[in-house]
Chains A and B, each alone.
Chain A
């Protein structure tokens, strides 16, 4: 079994949490990392990218339409767009918000589940809504791995709680332990 993509969804409190998680992902991992972080439509371009870039040595970018998916890269869904994957490239949409969110974690995760099936890992982090639960369930249903931040350690626990209620989580972990867990999955 070889995993190709790690999809991360976060909302309230996510800026900090995604940074910590990315810092903890061992250098040896070659998987593509895709992040959907809720934020306002007006949030300035590139700010989230450069914030995350500070945490890690991997290249971080907001993908353009039909941009190829590269290993090791960290891709961040642009503000006010849904990010989806199709075969070997990204696709974007400005369809209506899903559960009040654009980018929507469910939209990203469901497309990841569809394309990568049992080569996908989904991770739901802190947030004060229920986005990500359906998407994580789709990843799990298609043979992928589902990971949820331990709700007790999350800044807002509603999103992890919903993800746990929505499907069988393969692991429920505090942020610091997700990196080592990924290492175990991806570098046996």
Chain B
């Protein structure tokens, strides 16, 4: 066995360095990553170390405490969640069948896409709602911790080479038109129709530290909570509960659970397989 004792010490040292780094970021820049799930966080910090060409986390800490530009780059690494349009097509099928009829009963509905990243999910939802004739009766609030990704989301430009995959997803998600009607191919990518973003409010919001800001009929937060450790997941679930109207719907990612919500008994399964839950008390 290769030097287990020294290696143990290295790993412990790395743990100390990570904790100090997160503490430093919190105190210097106000972003609190201390309750993020450690395994992915560690990978993302290492990626930034490679990017900045430093060998240790302490060296990275030194750089980013003194240079906000380094912090901005790390913030992108730590907070950007990779997503796709109509990811999990069966989820969107279920949304059409089970959530849309409920939305029709309201004169006006508010939807919140929490942790929207670069906006793929927002545009998917906007397309779905437009096809269901609800575009004028809904407002989508799309929030993220990171201003830079919100700017990207506002633009609504996605890589052209993804369009084949997204088209397939769209069809499997029950899309009723031709997907290519929604975007124009430009040199810089597939630019999605302006109308789609008209009913969308993009705003900065930090799930870790910010409070509820409105009452919603639907909250969509898919594959965001997986990056949080359990205590932080509980906090965010509390925030979602407080932000949902009675009979409002919470949509989670395929592998996420409502079990960590302190309000689990207040929800009913609308579609257990697709992770759609309805607030009933």
Residues on A facing B (Cβ under 8 Å): 42, 45, 62-66, 78, 80-82, 84-86, 91-96, 107, 110-111, 114, 117-118, 140-143
Residues on B facing A (Cβ under 8 Å): 1-4, 7-8, 11, 37-40, 42-44, 81-83, 87, 168, 223, 225-227, 230, 233, 253-257, 260, 273
- Which single residue of chain B is at the shortest CB-CB distance from A81? B255
If A66-B260, A118-B1 touch, whether A78 touches B254 (CB-CB below 8 Å) is: yes
Q: Is the CB of B2 within 8 A of A95?
A: no
27 contacts between A and B (CB under 8 A): A63-B255, A65-B226, A65-B253, A65-B255, A78-B254, A78-B255, A81-B255, A84-B39, A84-B40, A85-B39, A86-B37, A86-B38, A92-B226, A93-B43, A93-B227, A94-B83, A94-B253, A95-B43, A117-B4, A117-B8, A117-B11, A140-B2, A141-B2, A141-B7, A142-B7, A142-B11, A143-B7
Chain A: minimal CB distance from B115 (Å): 12
Contacts of B43 in A (CB 8 A): 93, 95, 107, 110
* Complex Cα–Cα for A159 and B51 (A): 27
* Complex Cα–Cα for A139 and B27 (A): 35
Chain A: minimal CB distance from B29 (Å): 22
* Complex Cα–Cα for A94 and B82 (A): 6
Q: Is the CB of B2 within 8 A of A143?
A: yes
Q: Is the CB of A114 within 8 A of B255?
A: no
- Which single residue of chain B is at the shortest CB-CB distance from A95? B82
Chain A: minimal CB distance from B108 (Å): 32
Q: Is the CB of A96 within 8 A of B226?
A: no
Q: Is the CB of A91 within 8 A of B226?
A: yes
Q: Is the CB of B40 within 8 A of A64?
A: no
Chain A: minimal CB distance from B231 (Å): 11
If A65-B255, A143-B4 touch, whether A91 touches B40 (CB-CB below 8 Å) is: yes
* Complex Cα–Cα for A57 and B232 (A): 37
* Complex Cα–Cα for A110 and B38 (A): 13
Q: Is the CB of A114 within 8 A of B256?
A: no
Contacts of A143 in B (CB 8 A): 1-4, 7
Q: Is the CB of A62 within 8 A of B39?
A: no
If A65-B225, A95-B44 touch, whether A114 touches B1 (CB-CB below 8 Å) is: no
Chain B: minimal CB distance from A140 (Å): 7
- Which single residue of chain A is at the shortest CB-CB distance from B39? A84
* Complex Cα–Cα for A45 and B275 (A): 14
- Which single residue of chain A is at the shortest CB-CB distance from B42? A114
* Complex Cα–Cα for A103 and B179 (A): 28
- Which single residue of chain B is at the shortest CB-CB distance from A144? B1
Which of B7, B81, B83, B257 is within 8 Å of A117, CB to CB? B7
Q: Is the CB of A94 within 8 A of B38?
A: no
- Which single residue of chain A is at the shortest CB-CB distance from B233? A66
- Which single residue of chain B is at the shortest CB-CB distance from A106? B43
Having A65-B255, A92-B226, A95-B44, one finds 4 other A-B pairs with CB under 8 Å, namely A62-B255, A84-B40, A91-B40, A143-B7
- Which single residue of chain A is at the shortest CB-CB distance from B273? A45
- Which single residue of chain A is at the shortest CB-CB distance from B90? A45
Contacts of A82 in B (CB 8 A): 40
